């Protein structure tokens, strides 16, 4: 394949590309190539050679979700950089990137085939590893500690804000997380008919909610607090007994720390709601426990900054103030994420796979929770404040 001009791969050309780049050079077995992507955005090929395998990810011009919508293919380059940065912050927290190709807008990375995607694992009932919450809480705390102004080198940080600026992908979130769900601008919002009146009254006519979502959007657009993944849901996490790996980092940028914290809590609440309505008590208990662990570990470890001599007491107090605000932001972004995953276009299996009557119930329970979290987010400033919504 001519590798000087961009062309979209198919299964065969993906395998040719991998061979052309020198992967599996010593192997005699034939390559097997399969497109395995089921996300909204990209094309994912697993190329195997006997027991060995790797992943080739390519960004297309259009998203898979809506063919009319083009997003810069450079997102693949940003994603590769974000994964490399994430692995610097917490080694092993994301799959290894072996190669990025700026002509083909693709990258080659470690295949996590022995891991399960978290959302499906939770819908299947497990396996449930108790280390999950502790590990995610630790990664979130390290991202904050190492890349926010509380500890990072302020000059390096500003260059990184510039390096990771991600206009097109942030615009998707600004629209799909903050605008569409509460204004229904494109008319694509959907809930079960029994919930339409509730949505009209409490969301489209919910003046306080709209104002608060607007503030959260403004903060999302203007705060470069720390390096964040930007789309940290259970479909962006691999898990097995060895631990957690974060992937799909194309939305990464320097944004509000609470956006990542709130997103993962939102998706655990979505998983919990599914488990509750399908009488899977083990999963209900597990999700509750993990949310508590994430918030507790994040709060504790994020507060453990190295402080400058002579400014100890001052910096400790300042950081505590900072963390209380991050928790309130987390509650707000948890709320916006829940609302958009129930009402907006990017729906999730946790709700959609339920039978209609239960889906109706789930939508209502979740929307009520989401609205409360957005409007009353200032009441959530400590990990234990979240007990009421868990």
Asked if 179 interacts with ligand SR1 (CB under 6 A), we say no
Instruction: Copy the structure tokens of residue 203.
Output: 């969301």
Asked if 72 interacts with ligand SR1 (CB under 6 A), we say no
| Interface pattern 340-359 for ligand SR1 (x via CB under 6 A) | ------x-------------
Among 176, 221, 276, 365, binds ligand SR1 (CB under 6 A): 176
Longest CA span, the chain: 65
**Whole-angstrom distance, CA of residue 49 vs CA of residue 57:** 17
Q: Which stretch binds ligand SR1 (CB under 6 A): 171-179, 181-189, 265-273, 351-359?
A: 171-179
Asked if 180 interacts with Mg ion (CB under 5 A), we say no
Size of the site for Mg ion (CB under 5 A): 2
Asked if 79 interacts with Mg ion (CB under 5 A), we say no
Which of residues 101 and 231 has its CB atom nearest to ligand SR1 in the complex?
A: 231
Which of residues 41 and 209 has its CB atom nearest to ligand SR1 in the complex?
A: 41
Instruction: Copy the structure tokens of residue 252.
Output: 């990464």
The one-character DSSP state at 228 is E
- List the Cα angle 56/115/11 in 5-degree steps: 25
Binding to ligand SR1, residues 214-233 (CB under 6 A): 231
**Pairing verdict, β 237-240 and 106-110:** unpaired
Which of residues 63 and 361 has its CB atom nearest to ligand SR1 in the complex?
A: 63
Q: Where are the beta strands (DSSP E) in 5-96?
A: 32-35, 42-49, 52-59
Instruction: Copy the structure tokens of residue 381.
Output: 């400033």
Among 248, 337, 350, 372, binds Mg ion (CB under 5 A): 248
Identify the H or E element spanning 226: strand 226-228
345, 180 Cβ separation under 8 angstroms? yes
Asked if 62 interacts with ligand SR1 (CB under 6 A), we say no
341, 252 Cβ separation under 8 angstroms? no
Asked if 337 interacts with ligand SR1 (CB under 6 A), we say no
Tell me the residue length of the chain. Answer: 390
82, 230 Cβ separation under 8 angstroms? no
Instruction: For the CB of residue 112, give the shortest distance to ligand SR1 in the complex, in Å.
Output: 17
**Whole-angstrom distance, CA of residue 306 vs CA of residue 343:** 43
Instruction: For the CB of residue 134, give the shortest distance to ligand SR1 in the complex, in Å.
Output: 25
- Picked from Mg ion, ligand SR1, none, the partner binding residue 276 (CB below 5 to 8 A depending on kind) is none
Footprint on this chain of Mg ion (rule: CB under 5 A): 231, 248
Footprint on this chain of ligand SR1 (rule: CB under 6 A): 40-41, 63, 65, 172-173, 176, 231, 346
């Amino acid at each position: 394949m001519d590798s000087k001009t961009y062309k979209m791969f198919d299964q065969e050309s993906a395998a040719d590309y991998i061979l052309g780049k020198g992967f599996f050079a010593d192997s005699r077995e034939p390559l097997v190539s399969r497109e395995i992507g089921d996300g909204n955005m990209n094309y994912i090929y697993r190329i195997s050679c006997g027991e060995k395998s790797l992943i080739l990810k390519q960004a297309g011009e259009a998203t898979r979700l809506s063919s009319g919508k083009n997003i810069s293919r450079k997102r693949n380059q940003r994603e590769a950089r974000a994964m490399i940065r994430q692995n610097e912050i917490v080694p092993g927290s994301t799959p290894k990137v072996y190669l990025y190709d700026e002509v083909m807008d693709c990258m080659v990375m470690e295949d996590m085939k022995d891991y399960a995607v978290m959302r499906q694992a939770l819908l299947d009932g497990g396996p449930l590893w108790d280390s999950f919450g502790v590990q995610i809480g630790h990664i979130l705390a390290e991202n904050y500690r190492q890349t926010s102004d509380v500890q990072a080198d302020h000059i390096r940080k500003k260059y990184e804000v510039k390096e990771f600026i991600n206009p097109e992908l942030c615009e998707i979130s600004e629209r799909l997380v903050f605008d569409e769900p509460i204004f229904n601008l494109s008319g694509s919002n959907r809930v079960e008919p029994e919930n339409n009146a509730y949505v009209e009254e409490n969301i489209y006519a919910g003046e306080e909610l709209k104002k608060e979502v607007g503030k959260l959007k403004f903060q999302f657009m203007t705060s470069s607090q720390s390096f964040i993944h930007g789309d940290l849901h259970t479909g962006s996490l691999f898990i097995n007994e060895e631990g957690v790996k974060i992937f799909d980092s194309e939305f990464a940028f320097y944004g509000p720390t609470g956006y990542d914290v709130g997103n993962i809590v939102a998706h655990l609440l979505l998983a919990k709601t599914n488990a509750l309505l399908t009488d899977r008590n083990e999963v209900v208990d597990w999700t509750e426990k993990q949310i508590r662990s994430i918030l507790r570990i994040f709060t504790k470890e994020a507060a453990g900054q190295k402080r400058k001599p002579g400014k100890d007491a001052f910096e400790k107090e300042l950081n505590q103030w900072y963390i209380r605000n991050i928790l309130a932001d987390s509650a707000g972004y948890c709320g916006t994420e829940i609302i958009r995953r129930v009402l907006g276009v990017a729906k999730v299996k946790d709700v959609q796979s339920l039978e209609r009557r239960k889906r109706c119930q789930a939508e209502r329970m979740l929307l009520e929770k989401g609205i409360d979290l957005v409007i009353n987010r200032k009441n959530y400033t400590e990990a234990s404040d979240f007990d009421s919504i868990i």
